[in-house]
Amino acid sequence: MRNTSLTQSVLEGNRLALSRLLTQVENESSDGRAALAELFPHTGRAHLIGVTGAPGTGKSSLVNQLTLYYRKQQDKRVAIIAVDPSSPFTGGAVLGDRVRMRDLSGDNGVFIRSMASRGSVGGLAQTTAALVQVFDAAGYEIIIIETVGAGQGEVEIARLAHTTLVVEAPGLGDDIQAIKAGILEIADVLVINKADRPGVENTERALRSTLELAHPTKRVFRHHGQAMSIDAPEPDSKIWIPPIHKTIATDGTGIAELADSIARHAAHIRQNGDWAVRDRARLGSELEAVLQSELMKRFFDRVQKEKYEAVMEQVIQRNLSPYEAVNQLLNGNPNQEK
Amino acid sequence: MAEKKIRVLVAKPGLDGHDRGAKVVARALRDAGMEVIYTGLRQTPEMIAEAALQEDVDVVGLSILSGAHMALAPRILELLKANGQEDVRVFIGGIIPDEDMPRLKEMGIAGIYGPGASTEDIIRQIREAINK
Ligand code: B12
Ligand SMILES: Nc1nc2c(ncn2[C@@H]2O[C@H](COP(=O)(O)OP(=O)(O)O)[C@@H](O)[C@H]2O)c(=O)[nH]1
Ligand SMILES: [Mg+2]
């Protein structure tokens, strides 16, 4: 009952209620889960924008500028989820993204929430998607998610967001390394931030050549002699070629153009059906993740600890392979999944 | 259910640039397993209260070495209360003259620390205040 009134307050725009609910959801409490279920019908309206890229490239500063733009030019309500890593040793974290977002204070149309990754490795926390749902239900039209930015393997953000920005910066020492990391394949829009720094041309050249490898279709277009520039795809083209934007996040240079590309990307995927495909994929993987953890929990609730450990010992002794072990555990427990 | 993490906002109100203490404390709290939101320099009381609200913190830690604590602390307490966060514990560190301590405690400041304060004491007293 108490929680029903909490979700009600969230829907009515109470910020303290929203903040407390975010905590419950982040802690995966049963109240949090119940609230998510109540809020779920109100979700599915927001444009989810992911921002990833190596630490120090200026992600937080860009989020700050983009949000200012959405507030001033479009009067949209913006929620920001900024994820930073938890220490694997102590479980603690220092979450410092707000330092770059001070321009956003004093505006009730903005809500910034810092999140520790809490042991997740894909650049987001386990419950980031759930927090997104809460903000979505609370009526935030734009939700920006800043990832940890550890570099490699941050593909989860592409699964969560409608539009993913990959941020690079010149002179970070090893452009090639960052660009090689496969992260380009998840980019819907590429940003070379710190365009005031030397080396922008090199970074841009490296990005363009990697991009051509990632999007070989572009060459086909060239063979047909179409004058199609990589950063200005034809509006009705079926293929989205990630545009490259140069920005200076400390003073706002290039932000309007970047916001424009983000909007064009959203329009593009709405039109070609990719928006719905991404929603399906996201909800599908959420469903799978919940199912997986629920099945694990049920299994561990039922299996005897001694039995589990005995089988595990067999695996360690190399007497059983993990597959055989699982087979034995599941079949030796006929009540399983009834 | 995941364990409940202690969330702490470490903020530097006022106009001075002494941020070593705030950073030392932020790191020590992280190493004690807490989630520390660090806001950086030159925060107004309004900015601090807003961040505390959005981050749903258990503790607000203020680092003040400018001498302005008697103006800043009551204002921040007042704003937290106005936002419905009177249950948030507020700690202060920095340069706080002895004669100001009773007044600050009276206002509801949960702990006061000066130069050389041990981070172990700080961590223990934050934990105690939360579990009360
Ligand atoms: C280093 C220092 C500087 C450095 C600061 C570098 C930096 N980025 O931090 C520099 C050289 C820049 C500097 C400049 C100035 N300083 Co100075 N500085 C100091 C000094 C010597 C040490 C401060 C320090 O870093 N200590 C190390 C840290 C780890 O200790 P701490 O901050 O005290 O933190 C501990 C506790 O207080 C507590 N704590 C602190 N914060 C928090 C927060 C929480 C939540 C908790 C729980 C605990 C906690 O725990 C920490 C760990 O033990 C002090 C004198 C002193 N002994 O404190 C003067 C001092 C603070 N400075 C002072 C002054 C006046 C200045 C200047 C105005 C001088 C001038 N006229 O230009 C300028 C101001 C510059 C500016 N922009 O604001 C005065 C302040 C006087 C006052 N408040 O009445 C002091 C006290 C010197 C003095 N005796 O006069 N300073
Ligand atoms: N010169 C320059 N510095 C920038 C720019 N954008 C961000 N920075 C600085 O780069 C540092 C890291 O920025 P931050 O936004 O925290 O990066 P993040 O770690 O990717 O979130 C900060 O000191 C910023 O002030 C830019 O466009 N030009
Ligand atoms: Mg950041």
DSSP output for A245-290: EE-BTTTTBTHHHHHHHHHHHHHHHHHSSHHHHHHHHHHHHHHHHH
Identity of the residue in B32, B38, B40 whose CB atom sits nearest the CB atom of A102: B40
- Most B CBs within 10 A among A6, A89, A94, A135, hence the mutation to make, goes to A94
The average pLDDT across A127-136 equals 96
Q: Which of A62, A98, A100 to probe ligand 2 with, by most ligand atoms within 8 A of CB?
A: A100
pLDDT digits (tens, 9 = 90+) for A225-243: 444 444 444 444 578 989 9
The mean per-residue pLDDT over the stretch A205-216 comes to 74
Is pLDDT larger for residue A208 or for residue A315?
A315
- Judge residue A288's burial from the number of C-beta atoms within 10 Å of its C-beta, 0-12 exposed, 13-18 middle, 19 or more buried: exposed
Q: How many CA atoms lie within 13 A of B126 on its CB side?
A: 33
Smallest Cβ distance to A94: which of B38, B46, B84?
Answer: B38
Count of Cβ atoms closer than 10 Å to residue A278 Cβ = 18
- Average pLDDT on A175-200 reads 80
Q: How far is the CA of A169 from the centre of ligand 2 (A)?
A: 9
- First-to-final CA distance of chain B: 22
* Model pLDDT, residue A2: 54
Which tens digit of pLDDT belongs to each residue from B78-92? 999 999 999 999 999
Average pLDDT over residues A86-102: 96
CA of B33 to the centre of ligand 1 (A): 26
CB contact under 8 A, B29 and A22: no
DSSP tag of A184: G
**pLDDT reported for residue B93:** 97
Q: Is A95 helix (H, G, I), strand (E, B) or coil?
A: strand
pLDDT at A230: 45
Write down the mean pLDDT value for chain B.
95
CA distance A117 to chain B (A): 10
Q: Which of A100, A86, A102, A76 is nearest to A26 (CA)?
A: A86
Phi, psi (degrees; rounded to nearest 5) at B10: -105, 120
What is the band of A308 on the pLDDT scale with cuts at 50, 70, 90? Answer: very high
Q: Looking at residue A174, what is its pLDDT? A: 52
Q: Which superfamily is assigned to B7-131 in CATH?
A: Cobalamin-binding domain (3.40.50.280)
HSE-CB of B39 using CA atoms within 13 angstroms: 31
Condensed to tens digits (0 to 9), the pLDDT of residues B35-77 reads: 999 999 999 999 999 999 999 999 999 999 999 999 999 999 9
- Burial letters for A9-45: b for 16+ Cβ neighbours within 10 Å, e otherwise? bbbeebbbbbbbbbbbbbbebebbbebbebbeebbee
What's the pLDDT score for residue A233?
46
What confidence score (pLDDT) does residue A303 get?
87
**Residue B119: enclosing H or E segment and its boundaries?**
helix B119-131
Provide the percentage of residues in chain A whose pLDDT is more than 70: 85
Encoded tokens for B80: 């937290």
More confident residue, A258 or B40: A258
What is the average per-residue pLDDT within A158-185? 76
Q: Are A165 and A50 in contact (CB under 8 A)?
A: yes
Mean pLDDT of the A176-181 span: 55
CB contact under 8 A, B33 and A118: no
Q: Is the pLDDT of residue B98 over 50?
A: yes
Among the listed ranges A14-28, A317-331, B113-127, which one has the minimum average pLDDT value?
A317-331
> What percent of the residues of chain A are helix, what percent strand, and what percent coil, each to the nearest 5?
50, 15, 35
Smallest CA–CA separation between A297 and chain B, in Å?
A: 11
Average pLDDT, rounded, for chain A? 87
Residue A203 pLDDT level (bands cut at 50, 70, 90): confident
Instruction: Tell me, in angstroms, the distance from the centre of ligand 3 to residue B101's CA.
Output: 37
Q: How far is the CA of B11 from the centre of ligand 3 (A)?
A: 17
Q: Is B14 in the pocket of ligand 1 (CB under 6 A)?
A: no
Q: What pTM was computed for the model? A: 0.91
Ligand 1 atom at minimal distance to the Cα of residue B116? 53
Residue nearest to ligand 2 atom 28, measured at CA: A194
